[in-house]
Chain A
Amino acid sequence: MKLNVNGTVHEVDAPEDMPLLWVLRDVLGMTGTKFGCGMAQCGACTVHLDGQATRSCVLPVSSVGSRMVTTIEGLSPDGTHPVQKAWAEVDVVQCGYCQPGQIMSAAALLAHHPNPTDAEIDLALAGNICRCGAYQRIREAVRAAATQRRADR
């Protein structure tokens, strides 16, 4: 089957029921998207499907179809997406394992809600667990990214 990941169309040989996460990681060798729970509970596997934040660990690859998959590797060529810049500026990461998922959730939120309230930020990222507890800076960084994004317009 064909799979469009970060603008490149791949011919993928994988069982239809294999979750997109494992196609990305084990078949295409793109390990930026993380495995955390396997049941859409932690958000570490978050990617964009046509711009929507989606948990790739429970999504059979056959259901992706022609939709565009964006992973952390494709969010920006060099880590300069406003969310990534805010993440660096606010010094968010600790162990870093959940951060690709956090960043993908935050980027999808801001794409649809450029000026989110704190409640909207909390809701949009409630599905992304961070065991290091970097939540406070995650919240600050999403706010900072929103401000920056508006300033860039």
Chain B
Amino acid sequence: MTALSRREMLRASLLSGAGLFVAFHIPRKARAAAQPPAKPLPDPNAFVRVAPDGSVTVLLAHSEMGQGIWTGLAMLIAEELDCNWSKIRVEHAPASPVYAHPAFGIQMTGGSTTTWSEFDRYRQAGAMARAMLVRAAAAQWKTDPKKLRTENGFVLRGSDKLSYGELAVAAQAQTPPKSVKLKDRKEWKIIGKPTRRLDSPEKITGKAQFGMDVRLPGVRTALVARSPVFGGKVKSFDASKAKGVKGVEQVVQVPSGVAVVASNFWSAKLGRDALTVDWDPGPGATLDSAALVKSYRETARTKGTVAAEKGDAETALSKASKRVVAEYDVPYLAHATMEPLNATVKLEGDRCEIWTGTQFQTMDQLTAGRIAGIPPQNVSIHTQFLGGGFGRRATPSSDFVAEAVQVAKAAGVPVKVMWTREDDIQGGFYRPLFLHRIEAGLDDKGLPSAWKHTIVGQSILTGTPFEKMMVKNGIDETSIEGIVDSPYFETVPARLVTVHSPRSPVTVLWWRSVGNTHTAFAMESMIDELAWAAGRDPLEFRTAMLADHPRHRRALQTAAEKAGWGKPPPAGRARGLAVHESFGSIIAEVAEVSVDDQKEIHVHKVSCAVDCGTALNPLGIEAQVQGAVAFGLSAVLHSELTLKEGRVEQSNFHDYQVLRLPDMPTVTVQIIESDAKMGGIGEPATAPISAAVANAVYALTKKRLRSLPLRFA
């Protein structure tokens, strides 16, 4: 299946799902009205406002978490509006059905979908606003709107001109047009132009407000003591010492634990330190990572639920000239957003107000409304800048928002619930631990003839409201993405992919590039192993397998050429490559590495070539690719969470290590000119880096490292 058709399928399933969510909360007879309508033109007033002072305010239906949509969506409006770029302001929109994701039907940010999904709607809103300004000018000049043109924030008639600011009030009274013609690609002045971020000025002066920075009169600060074991419950607690801490006002029990409510963070923290909680740890108390990997290894030798099957893989394996068997595993990982989680909640009568950095406004409204006992539309969400998201602020259960509403409800005061870094690292919602076992065979021409692949790992979506849509026949789509739709597979005549999805009390979640974080590692490592087993150059081997995939081949060749593939690397270094398609974009990466005397791996250079279809903002794309490579390198070189007796052994950045500046390679990014359908860019570059580095390490040392983070035993 191509990424495109998968995306369309996802879209269809989530759309029906959106109706489903709504159905939980809206009486049956109102359901018809709640179904997402066919796409009419947007209400331009919801997306762009022109003010009498000439400023143009763009309202963001999605959350800015570093990915640059604050700038990108404004570029789409500005392209069609012909406004003065320096007059653009951007704001997060409130939570409202009008801002539902055009593909998913709920207000959310994720899946590297914002730019492609909003490409039409934001341009349409800009074009409609422009048409209304033109009509207002035509009315004033008593002329035909068709005779007027627009440029840089003015409507022009010969040498006469009226500024958008002068026309703002009159334009507001115009009826939005029933149709608009968008500019042809050849007429674009802003789309495709490297454009600096609009949120830089406030982010380099400390003025940008994140959820953590929300300060409102009367709002207390709360920290929650949560079970040290996943699934554990409070048996009893003693708050006497905690209440003795200056500034601590209340200690209240909530479903997730015990909350210490204080006048400020430091008091809340000291109060929580002084709290004694007796936990009933439950069955999670025996969890152990080493045992888990061992049991996954055993499970991987048995057949799971069939995800893809063609021909007879077993027979083909037995007839293969050469067989390669390998197991790849990846650990639990925390997102570790720089801004620890937080949410500020004020409950008043039948209203709930929430200030937070969230990727999931609609889910938050539904969950908060259910807890507060009010309709979801009575929940207002003031989206703040997100100090990183990477998926963590998109929990189907709205965990950190739900908990803050619970605390506000129990304490009877407005609260800001804050997480410490320890809470974050040990708080679950991890990239799940996964293990892949692959048995592959080569025919006498040195090409893969058989592929038997068993995947073992927790489902992210089972047990969530998304299960019905994204778990098919017991298989979570996110467990197999990047495998069953791999273009390499088309060339393997006999193949079998099966999946085991063990249950666990450990909560798991999507983590930048989701299933591709492990599937690309397994897939592209194995392809490399086969290339070496066949005695073929890894680039030539891939190119041969990808004969029918010109975009993949081009990405590979572009990245390889820039990296100097085929020319000898500097002494003590070697190169490895990988290509992977995810989120509708294709990225090839070539890593150049060395290994020092202490057996530490150093990544010096990464050459990336990306085909993401139409490139809205090349400067932003470069930043996203560099950042996604860095994010992936944390997992390749450093990060790992382990469980012992049910407890997470790491707690902060001293033992949950992430990439730091001295580790950062020089990452070159080449954007391939492409008129393919636009894909995503926030996540795809994270996926191939693990295999690119592991393959380079093999080329250098002839040691195949198959566990992340990569380490020499």
Contacts and interface: CB of A to CB of B under 8 A. Distances in A.
Interface of A: 15, 18-19, 22, 25-27, 29-39, 41-42, 44, 71-73, 76, 78-79, 84, 87-88, 91-100, 103, 121-123, 125-139
A97 B387 contact: yes
Nearest to A136: B626
A41 B658 CA distance: 11
A139 B215 contact: no
A31 to B, nearest CB: 4
22 contacts: A33-B206, A35-B212, A35-B265, A36-B340, A44-B338, A72-B206, A87-B204, A91-B197, A94-B66, A95-B65, A95-B385, A95-B386, A95-B388, A96-B385, A96-B387, A97-B210, A126-B662, A129-B658, A131-B388, A131-B631, A132-B627, A139-B664
Given A31-B215, A36-B340, A72-B205, A41 B652 contact: yes
Contacts of A130: 338, 630, 661
A135 B659 contact: yes
Nearest to A23: B266
A139 B420 CA distance: 29
B362 to A, nearest CB: 22
B399 interface: no
Given A84-B205, A129-B658, A42 B67 contact: no
A79 B630 contact: no
Nearest to B651: A39
Contacts of A73: 205-206
Interface in B659-682: 659-662, 664, 666-667
B561 interface: no
Given A133-B664, A136-B667, A138-B661, 7 more contacts: A31-B213, A38-B652, A71-B206, A88-B196, A91-B196, A132-B630, A139-B664
Contacts of A96: 66, 199, 202-204, 208, 385, 387
A143 B599 CA distance: 31
A71 to B, nearest CB: 7
A69 to B, nearest CB: 14
Contacts of B385: 95-97
Nearest to B422: A38
Interface in B327-341: 335-340
B21 to A, nearest CB: 28
B510 interface: no
Select the residue from A35, A100, A125 with max chain B CB neighbours within 10 A: A35
Given A35-B340, A91-B196, A94-B68, A41 B653 contact: yes
A56 to B, nearest CB: 12
Given A19-B266, A131-B388, A135-B659, A36 B199 contact: no
A128 to B, nearest CB: 7
Interface of B: 64-68, 196-197, 199-210, 212-213, 215, 221, 246, 264-266, 335-340, 385-390, 420-422, 619, 623, 626-631, 633, 652-654, 658-662, 664, 666-667
B653 A133 contact: no
A99 B203 contact: yes
A77 B627 CA distance: 30
Contact of B623 (A94, A97, A122): A94
B626 A133 contact: yes
Contacts of B213: 31
If over half of B's interface residues share one DSSP class (helix, strand or loop), that class is named, otherwise mixed; here it is loop
A150 to B, nearest CB: 21
Contact of B265 (A25, A36, A44, A127): A25
Contacts of B664: 133, 135-136, 139
B337 A131 contact: yes
A145 to B, nearest CB: 12
A88 B200 CA distance: 6
Nearest to A103: B204
Contacts of A94: 66-68, 623, 627
Select the residue from A27, A130, A138 with max chain B CB neighbours within 10 A: A130
Nearest to A125: B661
A122 B662 contact: yes
Contacts of B208: 96
Contact of B387 (A41, A91, A95, A135): A95
B562 to A, nearest CB: 16
A10 to B, nearest CB: 16
A88 B204 contact: yes
A129 B197 CA distance: 21
A91 B205 contact: no
A129 B266 contact: no
A98 B584 CA distance: 30
Nearest to B213: A31
A142 to B, nearest CB: 9
Contacts of B337: 95, 97, 131
A132 B66 contact: yes
Given A42-B338, A95-B65, A126-B662, A32 B205 contact: yes
A121 B420 CA distance: 29
Contacts of B630: 130, 132-136
Select the residue from A22, A94, A103 with max chain B CB neighbours within 10 A: A94
A42 B336 CA distance: 11
A110 B664 CA distance: 21
Contacts of A121: 661
Select the residue from A97, A100, A130, A133 with max chain B CB neighbours within 10 A: A133
B546 to A, nearest CB: 28
B186 to A, nearest CB: 27
A93 B197 contact: yes
Contacts of A133: 626-631, 633, 659, 664
Contacts of B623: 91, 94, 134, 137
Given A44-B338, A72-B206, A128 B246 contact: no
A95 B338 contact: yes
Contacts of B203: 93, 96, 99
A99 B662 contact: no
The 4 closest A-B pairs by CB, nearest first: A32-B206, A133-B630, A97-B387, A95-B66
A125 B653 CA distance: 15
A131 B666 contact: no
A153 B407 CA distance: 55
Nearest to A79: B205
A151 B388 CA distance: 35
A118 to B, nearest CB: 10
B264 A26 contact: yes
B629 to A, nearest CB: 7
A97 B338 contact: yes
Contacts of B629: 133
B212 A34 contact: yes
Contacts of A92: 200, 204
B20 to A, nearest CB: 32
Nearest to A57: B421
Contacts of B196: 88, 91
Select the residue from A34, A121, A128 with max chain B CB neighbours within 10 A: A34
A65 to B, nearest CB: 19
A30 B199 CA distance: 19
A39 B652 contact: yes
A102 to B, nearest CB: 9
Nearest to B627: A133
A131 B334 CA distance: 12
